Amino acid sequence: MRSLATIIEKLASGSGFISGLLVPIMMILIVVEVFMRYVLHSPLMIADEFSAYMLVALSYLGFAYTWRQGGHVRIEILVSRLSPRTSQKIRLLGLILVFIFMMEMDRVAYKMIAYALQMNLRSSTWLMFPLFWPQLTVFLGFVFLTLIIASDLAKTVTNSGGKR
Residue 99 Cα distances to 51, 54, 119, 132, 140, angstroms = 30, 26, 30, 25, 15
Whole-prediction pTM value?
0.89
Handedness of CA 157, 158, 163, 164 (dihedral sign): positive
Buried b / exposed e over 103-124, threshold 16 CB at 10 Å, is: eebbeebeebbeebeeeebeee
Q: Is 130 helix (H, G, I), strand (E, B) or coil?
A: strand
pLDDT digits (tens, 9 = 90+) for 45-88: 899 999 999 999 999 999 999 999 988 887 788 888 889 889 88
86-121 pLDDT, tens digit per residue, is 988 999 999 999 999 999 999 999 999 999 999 999
Q: pLDDT tens digits, residue range 6-53? A: 999 999 999 999 999 999 999 999 999 999 999 999 998 899 999 999
pLDDT computed for residue 1 by the predictor: 63
